Amino acid sequence: MSTDTTADLDALVATIVAQRSGFDAIAPATSPGAGDEALERLGTLRGRGAFFPFMGSGRGWGPFVECMDGSVKLDMITGIGVQGFGHGDSDLLRATLEAATTDTVMQGNLQCNVDAVDFMDALLSVARTGQSQLAHVFPCCSGAVANENALKVCMQKTNGAPRILAFAHCFAGRTTTMSQIGDSAGARDGIALSTLVDYLPYLDLTDPEGSADAAMAALNECLRRYPSQYACIVLEPVLGEGGFVPATDAFLRPLLERARAAGVPVWFDEVQTFGRTECMFRQQFLGLEDLVDVLTVGKMSQVCATLFRADFNPRPGLLSGTFIGSTAGFRVGRCIIDRLRSGDYYGPNGRIAVLHKHFLQRAKSLMSDHSKAFQSVAAAGGNMELAGGCGGMMRLTPFGGDKTRIIDLVKRCFDAGLLLFFCGHGPFHLRMLAPVGVLEQSHLDTAMDVIGQCIGDMEAAG
Ligand SMILES: Cc1ncc(COP(=O)(O)O)c(C=O)c1O
């Protein structure tokens, strides 16, 4: 890049950064209704309206984002986990602008620029710790496609083994096959079932030993019933859509070793966990690097990817596709990896762990202030702590995990300026995928205050 271009970009970044002033608190609409026409068009064009009336103006700063009506929201869901460094970050803005000065918007499998290679190199180097044998990385444009590629690699490695081992309540994306692996009835609705999936129970944090025994018994039964028929065992090291349950090494290691011993490849789906818990990868936190044959990432990495061991490298023809990602995605993704690697995010006293501890403390006082709203979830089929998750994956379970009331609460929080979402299959939970790269404890305090006010309003309404 020429000196002139560098100076122009510096000036542009400075101008955009200067426009951020005022984006440091929740604020009401200044032009009520200004986003309504766009929201209506979205509903008409897509055939389905937005879950909540969010229409971004394209401006934001840190965890705050502006809507077209001029309101400023505190974003604790970040596009379902994509904006880990929040909005309008100057480094990421700079990387995006630099990408825009290159010759192509998209990179491909046949032809790519060095941006793609640099990203792949950075991703692989941070994934390969301990006894990891990950050797290759194949980028693509969505978590679901990264998972499709993972499944293909496992299937070829096992000579076309037709069955898949997965965990109850898992999520894997929304392609035809991933919709069948994900354990949710709605995602399979109307899909011709063509994929053979057997489910093992996931860790129950209130009965770790009993659930580990049940999972092992189910695994043994599957292996007895279908010897040499499994292409892989796929797992989310923290159950994401299914309810933010962090698995432990004590739960996973024996299962994965048993699967491996039976010739079943192990695939970690880290699409949701990448970057946001106490290690950059959850497999590292759990010390399970030696058992990972295939691993997928997405969301916070901007570019999605499938990583695999050298002996899983498929024969030519199995993996390809026109696009592997946008130039901006590769540059920003690499910048994010560098920031995560060199910052103070990880470890037991890292920013992310400390934020989670603060969340749990605040959750405790919220629960005592609203004890009627926080009662057992047994009626919804659960038996869990009413606040949980790990790192930037934060869960709260008011109203007995009742779906209608949780969704009502999410929408009330939106109206009060807080963006969050829900997860779980019953019980349902309030769910936050916090922008861990920029979040301060004071932001979390604001979020918890808003949740408390909205719960109070619902209690008052009866
Ligand atoms: C664990 C997991 N895998 C895969 C996916 C699918 O990723 P995408 O929505 O980018 O296709 C998701 C998305 O939420 C996920 O949470």
- Centre of ligand 1 to C-alpha 147, Å, is 8
**What residue type is 59 in one-letter code?**
R
Half-sphere exposure of 364 toward its Cβ, with a 13 Å CA cutoff?
5
Element (H, E) at 92: helix 90-100
In the chain, the amino acid numbered 259 is: A
CA of 291 to the centre of ligand 1 (A): 22
Indicate the pLDDT class of residue 134, thresholds 50, 70 and 90: very high
**Sequence-distant (≥ 6) Cβ neighbours of residue 197 within 8 angstroms:** 163, 164, 165, 166, 180, 181
Ligand 1 atom nearest the C-alpha of 145 is: 11
Q: Could you give the C-alpha distances from 223 to 220, 227, 235, 279, in angstroms and in order?
A: 5, 5, 17, 32
pTM exceeds 0.85: yes
User: Taking Cα atoms as reference points, which of 296, 232, 224 lies closest to residue 260?
Assistant: 232
pLDDT at 99: 98
CA nearest ligand 1 atom 16, residue: 272
Neighbouring CB atoms inside 10 A of 185's CB total: 7
What distance in Å separates the CA atoms of residue 174 and residue 154, rounded to the nearest whole number? 19
Give the nearest ligand 1 atom to 170 CA.
Answer: 1
One-letter amino acid identity for 409? L
Q: What is the mean pLDDT of the chain?
A: 96
How many whole angstroms from 457 Cα to the centroid of ligand 1?
Answer: 33
> Hey, whose CA ends up nearest to atom 10 of ligand 1?
143
Q: Say what the pLDDT of residue 281 is.
A: 98
**pLDDT at residue 4 in the model:** 84
| pLDDT for residue 23 | 85
- Topology of domain 3-94+347-461, CATH: Aspartate Aminotransferase, domain 1 (3.90.1150)
For residue 462, name the pLDDT band (cuts at 50, 70, 90): confident
Instruction: Compute the average pLDDT of residues 328-337.
Output: 98
Identify the pLDDT of residue 1. 75
Q: What is the pLDDT of residues 342-377, one digit of tens each?
A: 999 999 999 999 999 999 999 999 999 999 999 878
* Residue whose CA is at the smallest distance from ligand 1 atom 3: 172
Q: What is the mean pLDDT of residues 76-105?
A: 97
| pLDDT at position 22 over 80 | no
**Within 13 A of 62's CA, how many CA atoms are on the CB side?**
14
Query: Ligand 1 center to residue 81 CA distance, Å?
Result: 10
Output the CA 17–ligand 1 centroid distance in Å. 31
175, 299, 323, 431, best to mutate for ligand 1 pocket (most atoms within 8 Å of CB) = 299
Give alpha helix (H) positions in 158-306. 176-181, 185-188, 208-225, 249-261, 282-285
Going from the Cα of 303 to the center of ligand 1, the distance in angstroms, rounded, reads 12
- Whether the pLDDT of residue 3 is over 90: the answer is no
Domain extent listing, the chain: 3-94+347-461, 106-342
Q: Is the pLDDT of residue 21 over 80?
A: no
Q: Which of 269, 271, 274, 297 has most ligand 1 atoms within 8 Å of CB, for mutation?
A: 271
Residue nearest to ligand 1 atom 8, measured at CA: 143
Ligand 1 atom 6, closest CA:
173
Distance CA 341, CA 345 (A): 8
Check residue 392 and give its pLDDT.
Answer: 98
pLDDT digits (tens, 9 = 90+) for 30-61: 999 999 999 999 999 999 999 999 999 999 99
- Mean of pLDDT values over 439-448: 98
pLDDT for the residue numbered 5: 87
Q: What is the pLDDT of residue 378?
A: 72
d(C-alpha 188, C-alpha 124), whole Å: 33
Report the b/e string of 374-388 with b at 16+ CB within 10 A: beebeebebebebbb
Q: Output the residue whose Cα is nearest ligand 1's atom 7.
A: 143
* Nearest CA among 201, 224, 204 for reference residue 214: 201
Instruction: Give the type of residue at 232.
Output: C
pLDDT digits (tens, 9 = 90+) for 221-239: 999 999 999 999 999 999 9
Distance in Å, CA 272 to ligand 1 centroid:
6
Nearest to 283 by CA among 309, 253, 254, 310: 253
- In tens, the pLDDT along 176-230 reads 999 999 999 999 999 999 999 999 999 999 999 999 999 999 999 999 999 999 9
Number of helices (H) and strands (E) in the chain: give both, helices first: 15, 19
Cβ burial, residue 349 (10 Å; 0-12/13-18/19+): exposed
Which tokens is 69 given? Answer: 């009506």
Q: Which tens digit of pLDDT belongs to each residue from 270-280?
A: 999 999 999 99
Short-list 33, 121, 21, 113, CA closest to 70: 33
How many angstroms separate the alpha carbon of residue 11 from the centre of ligand 1? 37
Spacing, Cα 460 to ligand 1 middle (Å): 37
CA of 175, closest atom in ligand 1: 11
Which residue ranges have their beta carbon within 6 Å of ligand 1? Answer: 80, 142-144, 147, 171-173, 236, 240-241, 269, 271-272, 298
Q: pLDDT category, 2, cuts 50, 70, 90?
A: confident
**Is pLDDT at 62 greater than 90 in this prediction?**
yes
What is the β-pairing status of strands 387-390 and 393-396?
antiparallel
Q: What is the pLDDT of residue 376?
A: 78
| Cα 78 to ligand 1 centroid, rounded to whole Å | 14
Cα–Cα distance, 394 to 396 (Å, whole number): 7
Share of the chain above pLDDT 70, in %: 99
Average pLDDT over residues 73-97: 97
- Distance between CA atoms of residues 63 and 210, nearest Å: 40
- How far is Cα of residue 243 from the mean position of the Cα atoms in its chain? 12
Tokens standing for 307?
Answer: 């990583």
Ligand 1 atom nearest to 270, measured from its CA: 1
Reply yes or no on whether the pLDDT at 298 is more than 90.
yes
| Distance from Cα 424 to the centre of ligand 1, integer Å | 15
Q: Which of 175, 269, 272, 431 is the pocket-test mutation for ligand 1 (most atoms within 8 Å of CB)?
A: 272
Reply yes or no on whether the pLDDT at 381 is more than 80.
no
* Pocket residue to mutate for ligand 1, from 171, 294, 304, most atoms within 8 A of Cβ: 171
Neighbours of 93 (CB within 10 A): 17
Q: How far is the CA of 95 from the centre of ligand 1 (A)?
A: 25
Helix (H) / strand (E) containing 246:
strand 245-246
Strand partners, 422: 430
Element (H, E) at 356: helix 351-369
Chosen CATH of 106-342 out of 3.40.50.720, 3.40.50.1980, 3.10.520.10, 3.40.640.10: 3.40.640.10
Give the whole-angstrom CA distance, residue 213 versus residue 221: 12
Q: What is the pLDDT of residues 242-271, one digit of tens each?
A: 999 999 999 999 999 999 999 999 999 999
C-alpha of residue 43 to centroid of ligand 1, in Å: 23
Give the tokens for residue 458: 């619902």
Closest approach atom of ligand 1 to CA 147: 4
